[in-house]
């Protein structure tokens, strides 16, 4: 029977972080009075308020909500016009552009000086402002921010670190709207679809919210209902964002050497966003994921109730568990944390190397553990696929890194399409060999770099550049490396799983996997810098060429001034002086370019 509960206030926020909507709902139910679960018709805002955990399914506390009430006009779509939305988006974009421009000016550092530390602090401050602005702009921008938190090849370290903190906390929409949407999607009254349905949402996020319900046979389920008007909001936002991407494509100077294609990045983001708001695709992904692990008894995936699922409503099995990083609850259950860490990594390896279909966001909010020690996976809105030839190449790459075999690594990268052979590959092979040995040494002595002073780190960096500078220069000329967007998620997932493993068991060693993951991460994030023009030989040649150009323009300007002064006809004199002015302007621009190159040299060598 349908129940009546108090209306949910628009300022009520979930404490769930991005992507863990189902797990947060499970935790809320786990912490409720057992009597309420036995008789769901009495569930209301008081019983769903997360009291102290009782006996039964384990509960864990989510992270504290860093936002008091982001809200935003976007949550009132019915009275929020396209013009207003466009104004809000462009106001944010222009304000960001001005702040970014100012952060690069010496005047902004008049008190502290433009030191690397001050510049980093200014970037962190700006990144924090961006993160808060994205939350105010709502679902589209929250999701895009979360996607960019994986793009170390596009954004600086400060922005990546701030965006990783981006929380998916937004106001819940009222229960009447939820029931109306549910009935429209299912084509029948709520009472006919479910034996009972809680009007009070258990958790809310940017794309939707979760309610508790039971089926006719008494089976408990969770129902995810999409936020109303989300498709319209995406349509408006993505049209504006595409224009922004086109402008960025024209205006981005790419002075850091990164080969960014903003329009391609936009296309990838928009594709993922539209897929995430089609719950039938999420349900199909969950079914495929479950089928892939059918023979693995320590992996569980909640079953989808297809007769109660549409593009905007998803009904799934209630699968209680505790977050995989909640060590207190895991110990209380008497589970082997070392085994859990090993299984989490093993499951991911099976996904990318055997199945070719992987969970693209395996953070602790999307992986739980039940009382039997099974890993429970939630949220299949963001999945990745890897073709068979790429899977084979990845496996070869793992072996190559583990054996420190540069040739085997390059062969694997070529098979995956990551490395495009161009001319003489000797320089690339020597560079790969250097970094394989360097990374292997770092794994052996992981604490060594932490004890170095800033000066020692700077000198070490110069030593590395000088030792492989010529090889890097030769490789940079051809730019042979290409990194598909899928690899970004693979690398990020390995990093997250490494963190989970060390949380569960501080002595956990995944070096055989981390070798390859870190190598790919360093390639993807630019630590190898095969693309950048940061090498002495190339910089010197470029500076000389620019100086020669500036000198020629200056000489031309001087000659034209002389011609203009000696000219007897006014028209000829005006033309000569005009030409002199243009030549002088080009000379100044060339000198400015030389200065820019000198700044880049200081950045990559630590000098100056």
Instruction: Give the pLDDT score at 42.
Output: 35
- pLDDT beyond 90 at 427: no
- Category of 411 on φ-ψ map: left (φ > 0), alpha (ψ -120 to 50) or beta: alpha
Decide: 43 and 198 in contact? Cβ < 8 Å. yes
Burial annotation 138-172 (CB, 10 A radius, 16+ → b, else e): bbbbbbbbbbbbbbbbbbeebbbebbbebbbbbbb
Q: Given pLDDT bands bounded at 50, 70 and 90, which one contains residue 508? A: confident
Q: Is 361 a catalytic residue?
A: yes
Across 329-345, average pLDDT: 91
- Whole-angstrom distance, CA of residue 509 vs CA of residue 341: 10
Q: Given pLDDT bands bounded at 50, 70 and 90, which one contains residue 308? A: very high
Q: Where are the alpha helices (DSSP H) in 252-302?
A: 262-276, 279-292
Q: Given pLDDT bands bounded at 50, 70 and 90, which one contains residue 191? A: very high
Across 294-320, average pLDDT: 95
Q: Given pLDDT bands bounded at 50, 70 and 90, which one contains residue 577? A: low
Q: Given pLDDT bands bounded at 50, 70 and 90, which one contains residue 329? A: very high
Which range among 225-234, 241-250, 272-281, 447-456 shows the weakest confidence by mean pLDDT? 447-456
Instruction: Give the pLDDT score at 372.
Output: 93
Across 328-344, average pLDDT: 91
Catalytic residue among 17, 88, 237, 361: 361
Which is higher by pLDDT, 220 or 565? 220
Which is higher by pLDDT, 608 or 335? 335
Which is higher by pLDDT, 231 or 255? 231
- pLDDT beyond 60 at 524: no
Q: Given pLDDT bands bounded at 50, 70 and 90, which one contains residue 203? A: confident
Which is higher by pLDDT, 111 or 262? 111
- pLDDT beyond 90 at 196: yes
Instruction: Give the pLDDT score at 272.
Output: 79
- Whole-angstrom distance, CA of residue 166 vs CA of residue 149: 9
Which range among 119-123, 388-392, 535-539, 582-586 shows the weakest confidence by mean pLDDT? 535-539
Which is higher by pLDDT, 68 or 386? 386
Decide: 352 and 359 in contact? Cβ < 8 Å. no
Q: Given pLDDT bands bounded at 50, 70 and 90, which one contains residue 442? A: low
Instruction: Give the pLDDT score at 377.
Output: 95
- pLDDT beyond 60 at 5: no
Computed over every residue of the chain, the mean pLDDT equals: 72
pTM (2 d.p.): 0.63
Map residue 509 onto helix, strand or coil.
coil
Q: Given pLDDT bands bounded at 50, 70 and 90, which one contains residue 263? A: confident
- Taking residue 406's Cβ as centre, other Cβ atoms within 10 Å add up to 20
CA angle 217, 223, 227 (to 5 degrees): 155
Q: What is the pLDDT of residues 136-169, one digit of tens each?
A: 888 888 888 877 776 666 778 888 888 877 765 5
- Whole-angstrom distance, CA of residue 223 vs CA of residue 536: 60
Here the tokens at position 331 are 């110990």
Q: What is the pLDDT of residues 74-95, one digit of tens each?
A: 656 555 678 888 898 899 989 9
Instruction: Give the pLDDT score at 606.
Output: 45
Instruction: Give the pLDDT score at 511.
Output: 56
Instruction: Give the pLDDT score at 84.
Output: 86
Which is higher by pLDDT, 253 or 127? 127
Which range among 64-73, 224-233, 279-288, 292-301 shows the weakest confidence by mean pLDDT? 64-73
Which range among 20-34, 125-139, 527-541 shows the weakest confidence by mean pLDDT? 527-541
Bridge partners, 215 (sequence order)? none
Across 28-56, average pLDDT: 41
Across 378-395, average pLDDT: 82
Which range among 8-22, 297-311, 392-406, 482-496 shows the weakest confidence by mean pLDDT? 8-22
């Amino acid at each position: 029977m349908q129940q009546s509960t108090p209306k949910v206030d628009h300022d009520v926020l979930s404490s769930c972080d991005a992507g863990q909507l189902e797990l947060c709902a499970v935790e809320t139910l786990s912490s409720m009075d057992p009597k309420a679960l036995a008789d769901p018709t009495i569930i209301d805002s008081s019983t769903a308020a997360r009291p102290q955990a009782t006996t039964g399914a384990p509960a864990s506390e989510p992270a504290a909500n860093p936002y008091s009430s982001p809200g935003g006009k976007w949550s009132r779509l019915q009275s929020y016009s396209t013009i207003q939305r466009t104004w809000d988006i462009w106001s944010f974009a222009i304000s960001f552009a001005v702040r970014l421009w100012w952060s690069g000016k010496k005047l902004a550092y008049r008190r502290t000086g433009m030191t690397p530390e001050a510049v980093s602090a200014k970037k962190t401050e700006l990144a924090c402002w961006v993160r808060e602005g994205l939350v105010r702009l709502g679902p589209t921008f929250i999701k895009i921010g979360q996607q960019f938190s994986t793009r170390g090849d596009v954004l600086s370290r400060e922005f990546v670190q701030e965006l990783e903190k981006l929380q998916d906390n937004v106001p819940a929409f009222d229960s009447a709207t939820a029931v109306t949407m549910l009935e429209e999607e299912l084509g029948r009254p709520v009472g006919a679809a479910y034996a009972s349905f809680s009007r009070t949402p258990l958790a809310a996020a940017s794309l939707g919210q979760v309610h508790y319900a039971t089926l006719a046979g008494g089976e408990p389920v969770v129902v995810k209902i999409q936020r109303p008007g989300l498709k319209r909001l995406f349509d408006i936002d993505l049209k504006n964002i595409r224009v922004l991407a086109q402008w960025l494509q024209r205006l981005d100077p790419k002075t850091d050497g990164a080969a960014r294609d903003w329009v391609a990045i936009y296309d990838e983001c928009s594709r993922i966003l539209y897929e995430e708001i089609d719950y039938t695709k999420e349900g199909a992904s969950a079914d495929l994921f479950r089928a892939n692990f059918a023979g693995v008894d320590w992996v569980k995936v909640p079953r989808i109730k297809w007769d109660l699922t549409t593009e905007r409503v998803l009904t799934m099995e209630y699968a209680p568990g505790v977050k995989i990083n909640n060590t207190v609850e895991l110990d209380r259950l008497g589970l082997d944390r070392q085994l859990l860490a090993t299984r989490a990594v093993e499951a991911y390896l099976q996904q990318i190397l055997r199945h070719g279909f992987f969970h693209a966001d395996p953070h602790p909010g999307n992986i739980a553990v039940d009382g039997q020690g099974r890993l429970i996976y939630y949220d299949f809105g963001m999945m990745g696929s890897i073709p068979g030839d790429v899977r084979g190449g990845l496996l070869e790459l793992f072996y190559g890194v583990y054996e420190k075999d540069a040739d085997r690594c390059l062969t694997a990268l070529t098979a995956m399409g990551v490395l495009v052979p161009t001319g003489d590959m000797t320089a690339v092979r020597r560079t790969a060999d250097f970094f394989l040995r360097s990374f292997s040494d770092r794994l052996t002595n992981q604490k060594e770099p932490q004890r170095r002073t800033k000066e020692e780190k700077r000198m070490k960096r110069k030593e590395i550049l000088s030792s492989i500078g010529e090889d890097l220069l030769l490789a940079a000329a051809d730019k042979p490396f290409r990194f598909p967007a899928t690899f970004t998620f693979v690398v990020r997932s390995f990093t997250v799983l490494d963190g989970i493993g060390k949380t569960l068991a501080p002595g956990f060693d995944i070096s055989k996997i981390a070798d390859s993951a870190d190598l790919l991460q360093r390639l993807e994030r630019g630590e190898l810098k095969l693309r950048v023009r940061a090498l002495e030989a190339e910089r010197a040649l470029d500076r000389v060429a620019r100086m020669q150009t500036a000198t020629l323009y200056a000489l031309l300007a001087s000659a034209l001034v002389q011609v203009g002064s000696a000219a007897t006809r006014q028209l000829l004199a005006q033309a000569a002086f005009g030409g002199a002015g243009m030549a002088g302007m080009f000379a100044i621009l060339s000198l400015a370019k030389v200065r820019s190159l000198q700044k880049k040299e200081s950045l990559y060598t630590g000098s100056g």
